[in-house]
Structure 1
Amino acid sequence: MILWEKIIKVNNLLNKELDIKEYTDKNFEANGIGYLKISPYIGVGYQNVHPSLIYFYKTWNGYKYWLAITPYRKENERLENPCVMCSNDLVNWNKPKRGTNPLVSTEDVKMYHYSDPQVLFNNNKLEIWYRKRTRGILGDSEVILRKLSCDGVNWSKEEVLNSSQGTFNQFMSPVVIIEDDKYCIWVVDWKNKKIKYYVSKDGTDWCFIRDIIIAPIEGRYVWHMDIKKTRNGFEMYFSAALDEYDNQKIAYCYSKDNVTWSMPVIVMEKGKEGAFDEDFLYRPTFIDIDNNRYIMYSARDKKGNWHCSITTCTVNEPTKLKGMIIR
């Protein structure tokens, strides 16, 4: 019996002990109909990737929805700079009034570029975390950075939270939440097909807690993900990849304790021929409003254009996705 078969067998046994329901629904009419017209700054058009979304019940600085996103027009890394957008209806997106995008900008893409933003709210401040990948004579290195804002307009200086020569050995698709007054971060270790989980009191000094292994689904592993703690426990939507260039599906799994995770299930496949999401499904992010869940995801067509759209489900049935119509 190979390693992954053993893992699946163990997960099945643990799931039964924990009374974890394994979802088997596959509703492939889940894709959004049309894409969101999000234009963070001049020159990027509506092409964006890797959304990270949060929601305020009574608005924050005038808006209910705040989004961190990176433009990616024609996969141009020079444009892949962290930006902040806001909305009151999830469809019409603008920069904050008097705000400026991008928050940081790549000057020489041969030396470095930015990616993988994450937005969270803590102590009445918006926090944008993002990844900087440096290229040079000494080889590639990665750094996680952060900026803070009290109004979504004025931002602090860039903080270095850690580097690949420090605590983490890989930073791909970092997901950050606040729990028990601590920062919790999950990062994808694609080389070893694991998720690594750390905690920190201040966001600088990190303590490694555990490796998390999500069993493969149809031979696919976690590539880019979003994780939130909800009334269901810890829930994850992720792009399920055979390799870096085959991300045609989005999957879901969850855990009651962030230790044992359920078997994942595919909830979305690439769209129909000619659709904006016909070729590649990328990072999803989600928010809950009462019993409704909204999942924003990024996708690519066969011409190399990247866009974001929204699909929905209920909090109680997180795998039964139904795409929104974006006009």
Structure 2
Amino acid sequence: MKARFIFYLIVLFLLIPLIRDTGSPRFMLNIPTYDGSGQAMHPDVLLLKNPIGGYRYWMAFTPYPNGSSIYENPSIVASNDGKNWQVPKGLINPLERAPSQGHYSDPDIFLDERGRLWLFFRWSYKLEERIYAKYSIDGIRWSEKIPILEGNSETLISPAVVRDKLYKMWYVDIRPEPNVIKLRTASSPLGPWSEPLKCRVNGVPHDKNIWHLDVVKVKEGYDAFIVLINRGKGLREGELYFATSKDGIEWNLSSFPVLAPSSKGWDSFVIYRSSAILLEEIGGCRHYALYYSAAESSGKSKIWHIGYAEVNICVDEEGGIKLG
């Protein structure tokens, strides 16, 4: 009896670091990177009803070894269970090598009405901003990059694209203070894209600022997972919040983070851009899989990885948000 009690204590001790605030386990994924570092970040994950190239899950991401933007180039991996990821045979990462000026970042992957995979990614250099697109019918052979949007008067951080009759792209502009989310629409991924609409996010604490986001289409509108960072602290202690919207323009933000840095370990410094897969929706309650990027701090260097977690969130008719 005593031995069994000790065994349960050991198991509980081992599980404590894996438990997040919502009571669900989270763990680090092994994502192969072309540079060999294994340090991956900024995931965007697509779950397909009909596999492409033999895979149901496709992930766009970038390596980011110790915070080096030289390697922050768009890359692709695939999976059939959402947990074990590999580079599909015949695919060579990165899809674009580092540019001669500036750097790439912030990939987003989605499916068009013809069943083609699309990859959007950001290029930035000083005050210049651009979104590029590539597309593929099999996930292996990708088109040349195509410029689709320039934003020299604004930043185009963390584009998140949803196909809902029109193509809708949300992104973050950090030129204003505080940062704002903007929305553009188009009838084709190649554009032309509309002029931006400024979104309103209700409930952002005064000491926090909006950072990266992902958006998901649900029955009654849209959900978003938004990283909030503390003003004056940089990325340290950045947390992931949930927001919901009827029209994609006015959003209600949760009063609590759905994912926060661990007390220690690989995701203890910051929770960064996360990608959400809607697994089930019953009434106002949603069950999500979260692919989240996070870092631990080792001196001045940040060590980046992508992890997995799940969360249940319920939204009432008045837009109130609680954990399910």
- Same fold (TM > 0.5): yes
Residue 247 of structure 1 deviates from its aligned partner by 4.6
Any idea what SS the aligned residue of 1:81 has?
coil
Indicate the residue corresponding to 2:14 in structure 1.
none
Residue 248 of structure 1 deviates from its aligned partner by 2.3
Judge conservation of contact 2:236–2:270 (CA < 8 Å) in 1: yes
Instruction: Return the structure number with greater strand share.
Output: 2
Number of equivalent positions: 284
RMSD: 2.1
Indicate the residue corresponding to 2:168 in structure 1.
184
**Hey, what's the Cα distance between the residues in 1 that align with 2:97 and 2:181?**
28
User: Are 2:31 and 1:38 equivalent residues in the alignment?
Assistant: yes
Equivalent positions of 1:30-179 (< 5 A) are 33-41=26-34, 43-108=35-100, 111-122=101-112, 123-134=114-125, 139-165=126-152, 169-179=154-164
Any idea what SS the aligned residue of 1:74 has?
helix
Indicate the residue corresponding to 1:307 in structure 2.
305
Cα 1:99/1:50, change in 2 over 3 Å: same
Residue 85 of structure 1 deviates from its aligned partner by 0.6
Residue 270 of structure 1 deviates from its aligned partner by 0.9
Judge conservation of contact 1:255–1:261 (CA < 8 Å) in 2: yes
Indicate the residue corresponding to 2:323 in structure 1.
320
Judge conservation of contact 1:295–1:310 (CA < 8 Å) in 2: yes
**Hey, what's the Cα distance between the residues in 1 that align with 2:305 and 2:23?**
16
**Hey, what's the Cα distance between the residues in 2 that align with 1:245 and 1:298?**
12
- Post-superposition CA distance 1:97-123 (Å, at most 9, x none): 211110001154xx2111000000011
1:221 to 186, 197, 209: 209
TM-score normalised per structure 1 = 0.81
Residue 278 of structure 1 deviates from its aligned partner by 0.6
**Hey, what's the Cα distance between the residues in 2 that align with 1:29 and 1:177?**
27
Any idea what SS the aligned residue of 1:208 has?
coil
Indicate the residue corresponding to 2:17 in structure 1.
none
Indicate the residue corresponding to 1:245 in structure 2.
235
Query: Counterpart amino acid of 2:260?
Result: E
Any idea what SS the aligned residue of 1:34 has?
strand
Residue 290 of structure 1 deviates from its aligned partner by 3.4
Query: Counterpart amino acid of 2:323?
Result: K
What's the % identity of the aligned pairs? Answer: 25
Residue 38 of structure 1 deviates from its aligned partner by 0.3
Query: Counterpart amino acid of 1:272?
Result: S
Unaligned runs of 5+ in 1: 1-26, 322-327
TM-score normalised per structure 2 = 0.82
Stretches (4+) displaced over 4 A:
29-32, 315-319
Query: Counterpart amino acid of 1:37?
Result: N
Deviates more, 1:84-93 or 1:193-202: 193-202
**Hey, what's the Cα distance between the residues in 1 that align with 2:208 and 2:193?**
29
**Hey, what's the Cα distance between the residues in 2 that align with 1:245 and 1:316?**
28
- Post-superposition CA distance 1:230-257 (Å, at most 9, x none): 1242101111112443352111110112
Judge conservation of contact 2:171–2:182 (CA < 8 Å) in 1: yes
Residue 209 of structure 1 deviates from its aligned partner by 5.1
Indicate the residue corresponding to 2:186 in structure 1.
200
Residue 313 of structure 1 deviates from its aligned partner by 2.2
